Amino acid sequence: MANIQAVAAPDATELPLVSIRRERARQFQKLQHAVPAIALLGAGVQGLREGAHGFAFALAVGELAVSFLLLRMAVKELASVRRSHSVHAEHHQGVDWFDVFAAGVLTAEALEHWHTHHHLPRPTLLMAAVTLALGLFHRQISTFFAARRRLLRIDGSGIRVRGRFGRSFFAPWPDIEGIEVDHDKARIVARGGRERRIDLTDLRNAPEVRQALLAARERLAPVGLPRPI
């Protein structure tokens, strides 16, 4: 490649690298809670039809309530997955109601088991407690993982790409030999054969990442050759 000098600007650009595939996998993993909700909904309807009284009546009403709320949230989650091509925006709301309602479904499922078999399934109750904690402390958990998310940072010192499991790529401007940006992928090439590839087709905010890398390429001043187009 051409000999390149750095033209470093003082401003910094930092963008998360949000994987669409990983987000979809997490969403569908959450939606697995909707399967027992359907069965629990049927159990609640059956209890009311049979004229349940006392605790059985309260349990049937509770089963209907938490199942309906969770299934309603599941529809919203599916809609968000279908819109996964849109630009990603971080939402750190205080409570994740999907997890809260999922914990309610698990609790109702455990109570139904106790009512029919006179035995509390401890693993189900433990899962309910964990799921409830995930929902109630959603903001704190999201903030914790946001500090460790994949990101692209371009500043006056160079280009840094932080990957999963702490794997990072950093190239100071003088060491960058080229930046290639296509429609579906990008490649940052540094001296010594080091390079980092970015799959743009898997990013929610691919247009922003592409534009940031094109702007970074403009910072590179090829000596004696025109800048890449």
Number of H-type helices and E-type strands within the chain: 7, 9
pLDDT-above-90 percentage for the chain: 39
pLDDT at residue 145 in the model: 63
Contact 217, 159 (CB under 8 A): no
User: In degrees, to the nearest 5, what angle opens at C-alpha 152 toward C-alphas 149 and 154?
Assistant: 140
157-194: pLDDT as tens digits: 999 998 776 578 999 999 999 999 998 999 999 998 89
Eight-state DSSP code of residue 19: B
The pTM assigned to this predicted structure is: 0.61
Beta-strand ranges (E) seen in 68-208 are: 151-155, 158-162, 168-172, 176-181, 185-190, 195-199
pLDDT at residue 46 in the model: 87
pLDDT at residue 8 in the model: 41
For 200-219, give the secondary structure using H, E and C: HHHECCHHHHHHHHHHHHHH
pLDDT at residue 83 in the model: 60
Contacts of 149 (CB under 8 A, 6+ apart): 16, 17, 18, 162
- Separation of CA 75 from chain center: 18
Contact 206, 195 (CB under 8 A): no
pLDDT at residue 78 in the model: 73
Three-state DSSP class for residue 159: strand
pLDDT at residue 89 in the model: 40
| Sites in the chain below the pLDDT cut of 50 | 1-10, 85-92, 223-229
170/57 Cα distance (integer angstroms): 62
